[in-house]
Amino acid sequence: MTETTSLSTPLLSVEDLSASYDESLILRGISMEVPRDSVVALLGRNGVGKTTLLRSIMGLLPQAQGSINFDGAAIENLRADQRVRLGMGYVPQGRDIFPNLTVEENLKVSLSISGAAGAERLDQVYELFPVLKDMLARKGGVLSGGQQQQLAIGRALLTNPRLLILDEPTEGIQPSIIDQIEDAIHTLKHEGDLSIILVEQYLDFAKAASDTFYILERGAVVQSGASESLSTGLIEQYLTV
Ligand SMILES: Nc1ncnc2c1ncn2[C@@H]1O[C@H](COP(=O)(O)OP(=O)(O)O)[C@@H](O)[C@H]1O
Ligand SMILES: [Mg+2]
């Protein structure tokens, strides 16, 4: 059977993905889809495998098995940097920036990957996170946690992604900056030609920002559907501590 890429093909589809750390199996046969121009919330308590799933999707986990299609092409055998070049932008959990490089240098590292297409996004990054423009000459490591998170998201955007993967972007960040990050996600969502996978503990925001959701438990998908159907019952069963 030949498959042609059409607009109805999901941007990303994961089928029967399993992954382990050392001897222990962490992901058990996960299947999920990210439609085009949509936001998918990936939910579940601590330790259920959300970060492991994102790392597997990005090709950062050697012991992963299963199929991953991006824009109609099989990518499970590609390296992480090749996936980035295809249009997958990843903002890992925590503050993944270069602390000893300036804000400007941090951003330039991404531009070296994407070239002109990414450069066109630079203005957008400054619009979303104006503080970065004021701090171009500062070392990344002296920014506040929230500013570092904004820098990390900015860097991912400058690779000109069609899929942006955000792992707990508001974790441990002061409320005023959480608002800015949430606004940025809303803006990106409405801009088109970009899908987002969002791991987020703030369920009200995750529900409002996403179109569909997946809930993980012990490395498997236990619930999924339209985000508007994410009920208090499901939240109590799978998400409250
Ligand atoms: N580098 C690692 N080595 C071994 N086990 C790990 C590693 N990272 C995570 N784990 C384990 O994998 C499971 C899933 O972790 P993780 O994907 O980080 O969950 P989540 O992001 O949902 O909190 C946990 O049991 C965790 O202890
Ligand atoms: Mg995690």
Q: Specify the pLDDT at position 2.
A: 47
Ligand nearest to the CA of 218: 1
User: Do 64 and 17 contact (CB within 8 A), yes or no?
Assistant: yes
Residue nearest to atom 1 of ligand 1 (CA): 21
Domains of the chain, first to last: 12-96+161-238 (3.40.50.300)
**What does the alpha-carbon distance between residue 95 and residue 2 come to, in Å, rounded to a whole number?**
42
Residue 134 alpha carbon to ligand 1 centre in Å = 36
> What is the DSSP secondary-structure string of 12-44?
EEEEEEEEEETTEEEEEEEEEEE-TT-EEEEE-
Q: Which residues of the chain have pLDDT under 70?
A: 1-7
Residue nearest to atom 14 of ligand 1 (CA): 49
Indicate the top mutation candidate among 22, 23, 26 to test ligand 1's pocket, ranked by most ligand atoms within 8 A of CB: 26
Q: Specify the pLDDT at position 240.
A: 85
Work out which ligand 1 atom sits closest to the CA atom of 53. 17
pLDDT tens digits, one per residue of 60-83: 998 889 999 999 999 999 999 999
Q: Specify the pLDDT at position 1.
A: 45
* Ligand 1 interacting residues, C-beta cut-off 6 A: 21, 26, 44, 46-52
Q: What is the pTM of this model?
A: 0.94
Indicate the top mutation candidate among 18, 51, 55, 216 to test ligand 1's pocket, ranked by most ligand atoms within 8 A of CB: 51
Residue 42 alpha carbon to ligand 2 centre in Å = 10
Indicate the top mutation candidate among 52, 201, 214 to test ligand 1's pocket, ranked by most ligand atoms within 8 A of CB: 52
Q: Specify the pLDDT at position 8.
A: 77
Q: Specify the pLDDT at position 40.
A: 98
pLDDT tens digits, one per residue of 216-227: 999 999 999 999
Ligand nearest to the CA of 53: 1
Contacts of 93 (CB under 8 A, 6+ apart): 51, 167, 168, 171, 199
Residue 58 alpha carbon to ligand 1 centre in Å = 16
- Comparing CA positions, the residue from 44, 36, 33, 7 lying closest to residue 189 is 36
